[in-house]
Amino acid sequence: MSPSLLVLLNMKKNLVLQLKNISKSFGKVQANSNVSLDLYEGEILSLLGENGSGKTSLMNIVAGIYFPDSGSVEIKGEPVKITSPKDAFKYKIGMVHQHFKLVDIFTATENVVVGLDKKTRASILEDSENVKVQETKEQPKENILKRVFNFITKSNLKDSADRIKNICNKYGFVLDPNKRVCDMSVSEKQTLEIIKTLYRGVDILILDEPTAVLTPQEIDKLFAVLRKMKEAGKSIIIITHKLNEVMDISDRITVLRKGELIGTVNKVDTSIEQLTEMMVGQKTELNIERSEPKGKEKLLEVKNLSVKNAFGHDVLEDISFELKEGEILGIAGISGNGQKELLEAIAGVQPIANGEVIYHRLKKNKPVSFYHKSLNQIKTLASEGAFHTSKGEKVNFEGITNFEIRNRVNNGEILFNDNETMLLKGKNPREIRELGIHLAFVPEDRLGMGLVGNMNINENMMLRSYRKGNGPFLNFKKPRDTAEKIINELEVATTSANVQVKKLSGGNVQKVLVGREIAYAPSVFMVAYPVRGLDINSSYTIYNLLNKQKQNGVGIIYVGEDLDVLLALADRILVLCNGKVSGVVDARKVDKRELGALMLGK
Amino acid sequence: MSKTVLEKDKNNLESNEAKAPREKLFHIAKRMDVSLQYKIIVRVISIVTALLMCAFVLNIFKPGKFFTIFSSSFNALTGSTNKFFITLDEFAILLGISIAILPAFKMKFWNLGAEGQILIGGLAAVLVSKYIGPYVPNVLCTILMLIFAIIAGGVWALIPAFFKAKFNTNETLFTLMMNYLAMGFIAFFEQVIDPAHGTIAQLTNGTFPDATDNVKTIIAFVIVVLMTLFMFGYLNKTKHGYELTVVGETRNTAKYIGINVKAVIMRTVVLCGILCGIIGYFTVLKQKSISPNIIGGKGFTAVMIAWLGHMNVVEVIVMAFLVAFITRGSSVAATNVDLGSAFTNITIAIFLITILAFEFFLNYEVHFNKKIFKSKKEVKEVEE
């Protein structure tokens, strides 16, 4: 007997959810075409696929957020129409979305009961297997004072809070029902979302990328809880693209690629290699070339940096590190631990409360030019003794005409003694640019921070350079050339440079943005989540571009979420936790577990 | 046996389908690509429909007068020199205001305060004419009127822009309220200048009382044409225009690239105020006076024109012309068939709303549920 048959026999389980030939399109984009899927009682099914393969939209159909164009949904053998999340709860389906839908200033209990009317709440409490509900007779009319009192003391939510505690005990969650969401960590918020669905009595729980925001340790905890839920007879669907987790937790795995169903396999019959092949169409290995860092000179120095948010809380506290030329410094951390603020502070977008960002222009023994310095600046620097001649003599401009100084500078006879240091604190991106510092930045939100979606590729090229040239008018020629160059060299799939950027696919949008920043000839290059949402091929294009910049001596700061990529690409990794540096490690020597522990601040 | 099971299944399915809630008849999807051809077709259909709707409404009030609105509109344009100049004046003012608010709208700063900015500019011109006029030559007086109108309009616009930039206040309400404030100012000065009547008498200084209205209309029209050309270049060819477009699209991108967002907001809105001040100046030049209702809601009509023109100078010109055309047409029609002046307002409202409704087809497409239509067809076929 084959192992799969054995599993089937052992299961003897009922079909709880069946999707038949589901298709859904958004405009011209076909999110799902003819996808069928089965879910049995008491199993964990992984929905696996790359970004944009239609996992989330398929599950949104089950959760009542979208309605399919064609195909049918059956619950326990009966065809149903789920037209709203309310319908979904009626059929005992609950979904935990990737972006939590919680009210920040409410407590856990309030978040759980919000949206439920009195009747539903009462019926849920009666249904509850564990809570003994006191016989609450229907009171004709509650005294208004009493209601206000109840509202203030929250005693009217006591039953609900008890039930939440019971749920926690039953499945092994740890959560304080009276804690406010704004005081919760990401994993607590996720716990709360799961409890919210359990409270409403779901049989089918859908989790959209639940592990994306968790540390390895927290993931273990989550999986333990999920196993307990499975034992209690609940069916769980996990959307993910992380293969090791899939192999860890699931009973069966359904793979989607580009909106189509590739197949469903039992975990015991399959391997990571087979799943990868199903996912991407061919076997690929995370095979990123990593060269040794070239130079040794410091490019960027961050000293005791602190940044406060709008409420005056520290989002970054006492951060110090160095970036050398020709190295990739990875920044790891659970998202929201200060990565965004760190990059923004360096780029001059975020005000710095304390500390300093120092840029070193590598000028040691290199000639002075009028490109960055005016004649007067050069004179002052010379009087301070910052230069020497090509013959190693001291420079003295006293008694020499301006014309002669110009000649000597233009001939390249005057050299810097040392690297120039520049303080970036308090300067905005434009001022930094005007200092001649080429600080390139690919922010996490491409269309919201880096590009303008409604503008075409040419116009987006202009963002960096539109100010160049005197006079009030724009120069259209150069951006057009840059755009052509990027389209050709990075193979951007577009009909012309006149296409609005928002109409390009995610990978091509990223190519345009990265291409523009590279065209800016950076000396420091900061990238945040550059491959988020990209397919494997586009991701490799980006890795290669970064590596090429590294070989050119550019210092790169790479903020990433995929630890495997960080370990393969970076030279050193700085780990952020709660806005503090919890460690700087050598990426060639560290492993994922250690990184995970640092991410948790241990 | 398997056959019977299948049949049973089928029966089950059918009964279930009857129980299940109705499927949606159609669904609406956002349009990603709009070709120029499609856009023009939708626009032409919408304009024709809007005109027909106006004619239809006239037919309700005065049965049998369906075509009057068309003949009147053309009559207003070509009937006589006088009528032509009145239409031209209407067009110039509407286009002028629309162009004036265009940069703010392109920046997604919803400036509803054009009316107030014009009024305050006009008021400044009136005060100059009244209190400085007697002591200076006529030409200098008119130049001073223009300068002060520009300053007043600019400052009036700077106030909401400053609060938007500094404290992110809602510009829509702010500018709207500033309109009533401007009207209040005018009412106040009417009382101050002539306590007995409460109106401002015809001004003579700096308003060229000898020149005919038609000459003034031509001057106003030429100024508006120059404004329009300037705005086309400003929005499309200059660094300023580029900056304000980026700020309007995504403020974060602007910030990341080092655009001083606050300065751009203030600069752009002040430009609106300056242009409105100019319009205020030549309104005073023509009316030789000012009153709180002198603009008569054109500031809001211009908002619609800018919006329907998709913040595009060329489209705005066409829309402004159409609205002027239909305004004058319905006004002539109203006199012809003996209707009150409110009829003009009704027609403009209907005209604009119809065109606005057709925007739906530019932004969305409707997909009908093929399954339902098919099954209905099949049912019909079976019945036949």
Q: What is the pLDDT of residues A551-602, one digit of tens each?
A: 998 999 999 877 888 888 999 999 998 889 999 999 889 887 788 778 877 6
Residue A298's closest CA among A272, A334, A327? A327
Tokens read off for A139: 């009171």
Cα–Cα nearest to A461, from A517, A502, A531: A517
The percentage of residues in chain A with a pLDDT greater than 70, rounded to a whole number, is 90
Strands A572-577 and A328-332: parallel
Mean pLDDT, range A18-31, rounded to an integer: 83
* From A430, A474, A503, residue closest to B32, measured CB to CB: A503
C-alpha A314/C-alpha A335 separation (Å) is 16
CATH of A3-136+159-280 among 1.10.10.10, 3.40.50.300, 3.30.460.10, 3.40.50.150: 3.40.50.300
DSSP 8-state secondary structure symbol assigned to residue A367 = B
**Residue B161 neighbours by CB under 8 Å, 6+ apart:** B109, B171, B265, B266, B268, B269, B270
Sign of the torsion formed by the C-alpha atoms of A373, A374, A376 and A382 = positive
Token representation of residue A327: 């190295």
Give, in words, the CATH class of B47-59+81-361.
mainly alpha
Are the Cβ atoms of B20 and A430 closer than 8 angstroms? no
Q: What is the dihedral of CA A514, A519, A521, A523, to 10 degrees?
A: -10
Other CB atoms within 10 A of residue A148 CB = 11
Tell me: pLDDT of A365 over 50. yes
- String of DSSP letters for B17-41: HHHSPPPPSEEEEE-----HHHHHH
Mutual angle of helices B298-308 and B81-106, in 10-degree steps: 70
CB-CB contact of B311 with B272 (8 Å): no
| Cross-strand pairs, A478 | none
3 state SS of B258: coil
Q: What is d(CA B262, CA B163) in angstroms, rounded to the nearest whole number?
A: 10
Taken in order B305, B310, B311, B314, the sign of the CA dihedral is negative
Inter-chain CB proximity B259 and A430 less than 8 Å: yes
Q: Is the dihedral of CA B307, B310, B316, B318 positive or negative?
A: negative
Over its length of 384 residues, how does chain B's per-residue pLDDT go in tens digits?
Answer: 344 444 444 444 444 443 444 556 777 777 777 788 998 999 999 999 998 988 888 888 888 888 888 888 888 888 888 889 999 999 999 999 999 999 999 999 999 999 999 999 999 999 999 999 889 998 899 999 999 999 999 999 999 999 999 999 999 999 999 999 999 999 999 999 888 888 888 888 888 877 888 898 999 999 999 999 999 999 999 999 999 999 999 999 999 998 999 999 999 999 999 999 999 998 998 888 899 988 888 999 999 999 999 899 999 999 999 999 888 888 888 888 888 878 888 888 999 999 999 988 888 888 777 666 666 566 566 555
Where does chain A hold its CATH 3.40.50.300 domain(s)?
Answer: 3-136+159-280, 298-352+425-599
**Strand order across the A572-577 sheet:** A439-442, A524-528, A555-559, A328-332, A572-577, A580-586
Q: Summarize the confidence of residues A467-488 as an average pLDDT.
A: 88
pLDDT digits (tens, 9 = 90+) for A87-117: 888 888 999 988 888 888 888 888 888 877 6
Q: Which residues pair with B368 in a beta bridge?
A: B26
Q: What is the reported pLDDT for B246?
A: 95
Is B14 touching A (CB cutoff 8 A)? no
Give the end-to-end CA distance of chain B in Å, rounded to a whole number: 35
Alpha helices, DSSP H only, in A411-530? 429-434, 457-465, 477-489, 506-519
Q: Are B104 and B154 in contact (CB under 8 A)?
A: no
CA distance B13 to B20: 10
Compare all CA atoms of chain A with the CA of B254 and give the residue at the minimum distance.
A449
Domain ranges of chain B: 47-59+81-361
On the question of pLDDT at A322 being above 90, the answer is: yes
CATH classification for the domain delimited by A298-352+425-599, as one of 3.40.50.300, 3.90.1150.10, 3.40.630.10, 2.60.40.150: 3.40.50.300
Coil, strand, or helix at residue A236?
strand
d(CA A187, CA A222): 9
Q: Give the pLDDT band of residue A206 (cuts 50, 70, 90).
A: very high
Q: Which of B23, B238, B371 lies at the smallest CB-CB distance from A472?
A: B238
Alpha carbon of A480: minimum distance to chain B alpha carbons (Å):
15
The answer to whether residue A294 neighbours chain B at the CB level (below 8 Å) is no
When scoring A438, A452, A456, A516 by the number of chain B Cβ atoms within 10 A, the one with the most, hence best to mutate, is A452
Amino acid in position B169:
T
Question: What is the structure's pLDDT at A52?
Answer: 67
Token pair of B323, please?
Answer: 């609205």
Using alpha carbons, select from B93, B67, B64 the residue that is nearest to residue B217: B93
Q: What is the rounded CA–CA span in Å between residue A62 and residue A80?
A: 10
Alpha-carbon span B344 to B329, nearest angstrom: 8
Query: What's the Cα-to-Cα distance from A143 to each of A139, A140, A147, A149, A150, rounded to whole Å?
Result: 10, 10, 6, 10, 10
Any chain A CB within 8 A of the CB of B25? no
Residue A348 per-residue DSSP state = T
CA pair distance A581, A333, nearest whole angstrom: 10
Beta bridge partners of A358: A301, A423
Q: Which of B27, B242, B253 faces A450 most closely, judged by CB atoms?
A: B253
The single-letter DSSP state of residue B238 is B
Q: Are strands A29-40 and A15-26 parallel, antiparallel or unpaired?
A: antiparallel
Give the residue from A26, A57, A81 with the most B CB atoms within 10 Å of its CB, the best one to mutate.
A81
Rounded mean pLDDT, A133-142: 48
Is B246 an 8 Å CB contact of chain A?
Answer: yes
Contact, A96 vs A204, CB < 8 A? no
Residue A323's alpha-carbon distances to A326, A414, A428, A550, A553, in angstroms, are 9, 28, 20, 12, 11
Residues of chain B neighbouring A445 (CB-CB closer than 8 A): 252
Chain A nearest-CA residue for B28: A27
* Angle (nearest 5°) at CA A313 between A309 and A318: 90
Using an 8 Å CB-CB cutoff, list chain A residues near B27: 67
Cβ A429–B256 below 8 Å, yes or no?
yes
DSSP A560-583: -S-HHHHHHH-SEEEEEETTEEEE
> Which one of A27, A83, A443 has the shortest CB-CB distance to B32?
A27
Q: What is the pLDDT of residue B8?
A: 43
Average pLDDT over residues A520-541: 85
**How far apart are alpha carbons A275 and A562 in whole angstroms?**
18
The per-residue pLDDT for A133 is: 41
Rounded to an integer, what distance in angstroms lies between the CA atom of residue B88 and that of residue B81? 10
Q: Are A163 and A201 in contact (CB under 8 A)?
A: no
CA A587/CA A255 separation, integer angstroms = 32
Residues of B in contact with A474 (CB under 8 A): 237-239, 241-242
What mean pLDDT do residues A451-460 have?
Answer: 91
User: pLDDT digits over A146-182, tens only?
Assistant: 767 766 665 667 778 888 888 888 888 888 888 888 8
Q: Which helix (H) or strand (E) holds A18?
A: strand A15-26
Select from A578, A305, A550 the least CA-distant residue to A424: A305
Would you place residue A415 in the very low, low, confident or very high pLDDT band (cuts 50, 70, 90)? confident
| A28·B32 Cβ contact <8 A | yes
Check: CB of residue A330 under 8 Å from CB of residue A573.
yes
Given a cut of 60, is residue A143 above it in pLDDT? yes
Predicted pLDDT of residue A393: 75
- CA of A498 vs chain B CAs: smallest distance (Å): 13
Q: Are strands A524-528 and A314-324 parallel, antiparallel or unpaired?
A: unpaired
CA distance B64 to chain A (A): 46
Mutation for testing the A interface, residue in B257, B363, B373 having most A CBs under 10 Å: B257
| B23–A contact, CB cutoff 8 A | yes
Q: Write the burial class of residue A105 (CB in 10 Å: 0-12 exposed, 13-18 middle, 19+ buried).
A: exposed
In the three-class reduction of DSSP (H, G, I as helix; E, B as strand; rest coil), residue A404 is classed as: helix
Q: Is A26 on the interface with B (CB under 8 A)?
A: yes
CA–CA separation, B273 and A443 (whole Å): 36
Would you tell me which residues 81-140 of chain A have a C-beta closer than 8 angstroms to some C-beta of chain B?
81, 83
Nearest residue, CB atoms, A79 vs list B16, B260, B371: B16
Question: Could you tell me if B290 and B126 are in contact, meaning their C-beta atoms sit under 8 angstroms apart?
Answer: yes
Residue A3 touches partner B, C-beta closer than 8 Å: no
Neighbours of A264 (CB within 10 A): 16
Q: What is the pLDDT of residues A46-90, one digit of tens each?
A: 998 876 678 888 999 999 888 888 888 999 888 888 888 888 888
Token pair 């560290």 is found at A590
Cβ-based contacts of B29 with chain A (< 8 Å): 26-27
Chain A positions in Cβ-Cβ contact with residue B13 (cut-off 8 Å) = 79
Under 8 Å between Cβ of A213 and A335: yes
- Taking the C-alpha atoms of residue B342 and residue B290, their distance in angstroms, rounded to an integer, is 22
Which of A348, A448, A472 minimises the CB distance to B253?
A: A448
Cβ of B20 within 8 Å of Cβ of A79? The answer is yes
Closest-CA distance of chain B to residue A106, Å: 26
- DSSP per-residue letters across A118-178: HHHHHHHHHH-SSPPPP-----SS--HHHHHHHHHHTGGGHHHHHHHHHHHHHHT----TT
Q: From CA B339, how far away is CA B341, in angstroms rounded? A: 7
Helix (H, G, I), strand (E, B) or coil at A499: coil
Q: How far apart are CA A221 and CA A201, in angstroms?
A: 22
Of the candidate ranges A16-25, A28-37, B110-119, the one whose mean pLDDT is the lowest: A28-37
